[in-house]
């Protein structure tokens, strides 16, 4: 009997089985790449959360209550501190002109690096120069990332709210106790340990409790550095223990990376730090501007990978060549990225192949642009979710007199600092409250929200992961380096705009803007916006008044530098940390350094007009709060 040809289904199954066998060794690598790229996006997006325009400022009394304990740990310099001032976060807004500038400058930079490589004929020379340049920014970026990670870990161990025995507890750091406020309050007892949940049942001595309360207060016990140079500089910075640890880790990382060995994990640490910091300080301003910029970079990435082939020698392309005597044609972007040993990419070890040189470790690469560029839109989507959350909590009060306009009453904004760790200790894995009743507290107030719906954020993350999976599939099917933005941009943009279309919120998304509209002060003057910097600057050109106490400088002072330690370190310091974290932590529970008196960012000139949606306050009026 003659052999029959396999059916179409059998052929398809056989092809799929062969393809799976071929890609199976790389599945852990791809999973590593997906998780590693999501880490800086997720963390930075939550760290960028601030008060949206649809939420009211916290009342003066609530702000004072949160800052009360922290203020005890500050000096009384009235020139530097303003209890009524709302902290602001520095952010750079993008404008429509960046639609052209981004691809243009990216192309110029890439071409310049390639021609420098050809001219120098030694990639190590250019790598050393670039690494020295990146080391300056890398120090601050790694310090910020490490200190924020430590703050997250600390907030998980010492949350402000937790559940024990069906009762919701609020931790009072100043009093050194946790008090039941909701749920099974009758059977709940006052707890004298800062440990949350079941950990509170651990038998501890007074000395151990004292040490735990002091450790809970540790992040807020900061050293204050003051610097003054007449008519040039005046300001102060505050440095805590976590910041010092981050600085040590950053310095050790840069020394080892530049002087010993450029391992993949140190390259990734620097890459994570750059991506984490960039997503926090850059905003697309509007969804229209962000989408247009992504589309422009979409075509740029395609052109640089598919239409810019160059003759690549092993000297300039060491990761792609097997021997020292061969040359090949390689995309310009791939040539530059693989030739330079600088932290502009993430590297992931993968199993060697038959073409891998003996003793050389193979690695998959993902450019930082493939994380930062989509991450800007994903961060914008999360802030839009927060905007919608408070928009739906607004109440419209009908006018009492004829011809008057209705009044929109906004819900008071609750800082999102530490909410993730609070949610972890108060809710089940399915998101249900662990205390028996979710009713208002005994004093009649509602419990502050632990989280908010993240519809657009989750949709954009799904689109991003789908784009990465499509990139990996195309890489194997075409056997050719892939421009990741070719798949990531459609994945993110289609997921966002399709979600808005299904929910009927296209107009809301289109008109949403993060451009700042200046607010007037009570005295009728415009609020002053200053650029954030390491030291909080004063008006060094102002005429100095005679010294009248601690709040004034000596009249003959020309130069001074001082270091002040924390005033108190003890069990009562827990309240200080609690008050400080309320005002200084980011939405994901990480602590944003309070050493900088930052300001709002200003968006593009093209979006200067305020936008109104449904009669509520313009979305463009948005102060960024830490």
Task: Check whether 467 has a pLDDT greater than 60.
Answer: yes
Give me the sign of the Cα torsion angle 133, 137, 138, 139. Answer: positive
Neighbours of 544 (CB within 10 A): 16
For residue 367, what is the enclosing H or E element?
Answer: strand 363-367
- Strand pairing of 407-409 and 395-397? antiparallel
Full DSSP string of 111-169:
HHHHHHHHHHS-HHHHHHHHHHHHHHHHHHHHHHHHHHHHHHHHHHHS-SEEEETTEEE
Banded model confidence at residue 15, pLDDT cuts 50, 70, 90: confident
Residues 577-623 have pLDDT tens digits of: 344 443 333 333 333 333 333 333 333 333 333 333 333 333 433 43
- Strand pairing of 309-312 and 282-283? unpaired
Residue 310: what are its φ and ψ, rounded to 5°? -130, 160
Banded model confidence at residue 541, pLDDT cuts 50, 70, 90: very low
Cβ atoms of 216 and 574 closer than 8 Å: yes
- How far is it, in rounded angstroms, from Cα 336 to Cα 120? 13
Nearest CA to 505 out of 623, 389, 374 is that of 389
Nearest CA to 519 out of 529, 509, 511 is that of 529
User: What pLDDT is attached to residue 374?
Assistant: 94
User: What pLDDT is attached to residue 463?
Assistant: 96
User: What pLDDT is attached to residue 436?
Assistant: 74
Beta-bridge partner residues of 310 = 330
Neighbours of 59 (CB within 10 A): 10
Residues 127-141 have pLDDT tens digits of: 888 888 889 999 999
- How far is it, in rounded angstroms, from Cα 172 to Cα 179? 7
- How far is it, in rounded angstroms, from Cα 251 to Cα 254? 5
Nearest CA to 417 out of 96, 113, 158, 118 is that of 158
Instruction: Provide the 3-class DSSP secondary structure of residue 560.
Output: strand
Q: Which two tokens stand for residue 208?
A: 């151990």
Residues 295-353 have pLDDT tens digits of: 998 988 888 877 766 544 444 444 333 333 334 455 677 778 778 888 888 988 887 65
User: What pLDDT is attached to residue 446?
Assistant: 73
User: What pLDDT is attached to residue 223?
Assistant: 85
User: What pLDDT is attached to residue 304?
Assistant: 80
Nearest CA to 71 out of 174, 176, 225 is that of 174
Q: Which two tokens stand for residue 359?
A: 């003793």
Residues 375-405 have pLDDT tens digits of: 999 999 999 999 999 999 888 888 777 777 7
Full DSSP string of 228-267:
EETTTEEEEEEE-HHHHHHHHHHHHHHHHHHHT---HHHH
- Strand pairing of 282-283 and 92-93? parallel
Task: Check whether 221 has a pLDDT greater than 80.
Answer: yes
Full DSSP string of 39-55:
HHHHHHHHHT----TTS
The domains of the chain are located at 22-520+528-544+565-607
- How far is it, in rounded angstroms, from Cα 516 to Cα 452? 23
Cβ atoms of 48 and 280 closer than 8 Å: yes
Nearest CA to 499 out of 458, 552, 545, 443 is that of 458
96, burial (CB in 10 Å: exposed 0-12, middle 13-18, buried 19+): middle
Q: Which two tokens stand for residue 615?
A: 């009669």
User: What pLDDT is attached to residue 597?
Assistant: 33
Q: Mean pLDDT over residues 412-418, rounded?
A: 78
Q: Which two tokens stand for residue 583?
A: 């005002």
Higher pLDDT, 143 or 521: 143
Mean pLDDT, the chain, rounded, equals 75
Least confident interval from 210-219, 372-381, 428-437: 428-437
Q: Mean pLDDT over residues 500-510, rounded?
A: 94
Within 8 A by CB and 6+ apart from 478, the residues are none
375, burial (CB in 10 Å: exposed 0-12, middle 13-18, buried 19+): buried
- How far is it, in rounded angstroms, from Cα 80 to Cα 249? 31
- How far is it, in rounded angstroms, from Cα 155 to Cα 590? 8
Q: Which two tokens stand for residue 430?
A: 């399915």
User: What pLDDT is attached to residue 491?
Assistant: 95
Cβ atoms of 134 and 270 closer than 8 Å: yes
Q: HSE-up of 448 (CA within 13 Å, CB side)?
A: 18
Higher pLDDT, 438 or 135: 135
- How far is it, in rounded angstroms, from Cα 472 to Cα 26? 10
Within 8 A by CB and 6+ apart from 460, the residues are 374, 377, 378, 381, 492, 495, 496
Residues 71-126 have pLDDT tens digits of: 433 333 433 343 334 445 667 888 888 888 888 888 888 888 888 888 888 888 88
Higher pLDDT, 219 or 503: 503
User: What pLDDT is attached to residue 482?
Assistant: 77
Please, what's the largest Cα pairwise distance for the chain? Answer: 111
Beta-bridge partner residues of 408 = 396
% of the chain residues with pLDDT over 90: 25
Banded model confidence at residue 235, pLDDT cuts 50, 70, 90: confident
Within 8 A by CB and 6+ apart from 31, the residues are none
- How far is it, in rounded angstroms, from Cα 262 to Cα 31? 23
């Amino acid at each position: 009997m003659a052999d029959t040809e396999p059916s179409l289904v059998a052929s398809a199954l056989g092809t799929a089985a062969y393809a799976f066998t071929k890609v199976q060794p790389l599945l852990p690598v791809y999973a590593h790449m997906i998780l590693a790229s999501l880490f800086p996006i997720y963390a930075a997006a939550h760290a960028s959360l601030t008060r949206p325009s649809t939420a009211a400022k916290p009342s003066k009394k609530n702000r004072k209550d949160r800052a009360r304990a922290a203020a005890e740990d500050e000096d009384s310099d009235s020139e530097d501190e303003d209890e009524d001032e709302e902290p602001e976060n520095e952010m750079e807004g993008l404008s429509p002109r960046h639609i052209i500038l981004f691809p243009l400058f990216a192309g110029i930079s890439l071409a310049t690096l390639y021609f420098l490589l050809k001219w120098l004929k030694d990639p190590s020379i250019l790598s050393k120069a670039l690494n020295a340049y990146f080391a300056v920014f890398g120090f601050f970026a790694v310090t910020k990332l490490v200190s924020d990670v430590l703050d997250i870990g600390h907030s998980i161990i010492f949350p402000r709210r937790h559940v024990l025995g069906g009762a919701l507890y609020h931790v009072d750091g100043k009093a050194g106790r946790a008090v039941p406020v909701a749920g099974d309050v009758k059977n709940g007892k006052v707890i004298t340990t800062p440990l949350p949940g079941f950990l509170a049942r651990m038998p501890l001595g007074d000395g151990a409790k004292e040490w735990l309360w002091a450790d809970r207060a540790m992040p807020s016990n900061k050293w204050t550095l003051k610097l003054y140079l007449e008519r040039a500089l005046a300001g102060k910075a505050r440095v805590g223990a976590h910041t010092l640890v981050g600085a040590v880790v950053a310095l050790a990382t840069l020394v080892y990376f530049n002087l010993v060995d450029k391992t993949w994990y140190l390259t990734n640490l620097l890459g994570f730090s750059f991506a984490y910091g960039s997503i926090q300080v850059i905003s697309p301003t509007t969804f229209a501007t962000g989408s247009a910029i992504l589309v422009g970079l979409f075509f740029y990435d395609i052109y640089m990978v598919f239409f810019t082939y160059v003759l690549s020698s092993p000297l300039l392309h060491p990761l792609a060549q097997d021997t020292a005597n061969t040359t090949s044609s390689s995309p310009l972007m791939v040539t530059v990225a693989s030739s330079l040993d600088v932290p502009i990419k993430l590297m992931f070890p993968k199993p060697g192949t038959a073409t891998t040189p003996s003793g050389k470790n193979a690695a998959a690469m993902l450019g930082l642009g493939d994380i930062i560029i989509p991450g800007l839109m994903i961060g914008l989507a999360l802030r839009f979710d927060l905007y919608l959350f408070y928009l739906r909590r607004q109440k419209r009060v009908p006018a009492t007199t004829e011809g008057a306009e209705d009044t929109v009453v906004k819900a008071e904004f609750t800082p999102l600092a530490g909410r993730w760790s609070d949610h972890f200790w108060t809710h089940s894995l399915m998101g249900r409250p662990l205390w028996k009743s979710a009713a208002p507290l005994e004093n009649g107030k509602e419990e502050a929200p632990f989280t908010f719906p993240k519809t657009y954020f989750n949709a954009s993350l799904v689109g991003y992961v789908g784009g990465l999976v499509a990139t990996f599939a195309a890489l194997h099917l075409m056997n050719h380096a892939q421009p990741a933005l070719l798949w990531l941009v459609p994945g993110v943009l289609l997921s966002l705009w399709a979600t808005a279309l299904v929910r009927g919120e296209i107009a809301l998304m289109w008109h949403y803007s993060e451009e700042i509209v200046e607010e007037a002060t009570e005295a009728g003057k415009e609020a002053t916006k200053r650029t954030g910097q390491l030291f909080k600057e004063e008006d060094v050109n102002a005429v100095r008044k005679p010294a009248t106490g601690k709040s004034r400088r000596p009249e003959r002072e020309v130069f001074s530098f001082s270091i002040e330690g924390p005033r108190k370190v003890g069990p009562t310091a827990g309240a200080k940390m609690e008050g400080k974290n309320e005002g200084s932590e980011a939405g994901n529970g990480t602590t944003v350094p309070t050493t900088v008196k930052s300001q709002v960012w200003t968006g593009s000139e093209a979006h200067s007009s305020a936008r109104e949606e449904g009669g509520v306050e313009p979305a463009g009026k948005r102060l960024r709060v830490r």
